[in-house]
Amino acid sequence: MSRRVYDNSGRAEQARVTRRRMLNAARELFVERGPLAVTMRDVAAQAGVSVETVYKTFRSKAALIKDVYDVTLAGDDEPIPMIDRPEHRAVFTASTPREKVARYAFAARRISERVGPLLARLLAGARGGDPGLSRFRETINQERLAGAEALVRHLAATGGLRADVEPGRARDVVWTLISPEVYELLVTDRGWSLDEYEQWLAQSFTDALVE
């Protein structure tokens, strides 16, 4: 290995470590203070880097918020689409419709567990009328809708979707059931355990979607 290749690899790894440190710092601050009270300078100070480094890496606070959310959603910063991750692949490899929706409920539970505290803060800012956070809410709503549609398409393609359920309506039902608002109402406000939330999701999916 040439010195140039080694140096480039080392710099790339250091940049990734620094980026991860900034994401972790931003997440901690967003959960603690709420996104509207956090500046890029705050993130830089928390991460031990310059403000210029934060801006160079993320360009804007809106982009930083989305990146923090995406990494929290996935559980790591590996460039692997959610649909290709083990929790979601398990849905598509399950042998029966009931097993598929049970595994989807487990994946939804794990995601909500990871993003719950962060997303509660971000959505509170969106409800407060902040334009950037309102756009963020629209974006993640569309992403969640795409995920719900992927499940319904798979059930329909494998003969698992109830014949009397229109796919568009089924997609909307799944989209609503896995919404952060429902998770917050049941787990945060009403005190349901994560196991109870997952079991309720699985039963709701079964009742609404499959025979």
Q: What is the pLDDT of residues 141-161, one digit of tens each?
A: 999 999 999 999 999 999 999
Q: pLDDT band at 211, cuts 50/70/90?
A: confident
Mean pLDDT of 42-55: 97
Q: In the chain, what are the domains?
A: 1-64 (1.10.10.60), 80-211 (1.10.357.10)
3-state per-residue secondary structure call for the chain: CCHHHHHHHHHHHHHHHHHHHHHHHHHHHHHHHCHHHCCHHHHHHHHCCCHHHHHHHHCCHHHHHHHHHHHHHHCCCCCCCHHHCHHHHHHHHCCCHHHHHHHHHHHHHHHHHHHHHHHHHHHHHHHCCCHHHHHHHHHHHHHHHHHHHHHHHHHHHCCCCCCCCCHHHHHHHHHHHCCHHHHHHHHHHCCCCHHHHHHHHHHHHHHHHCC
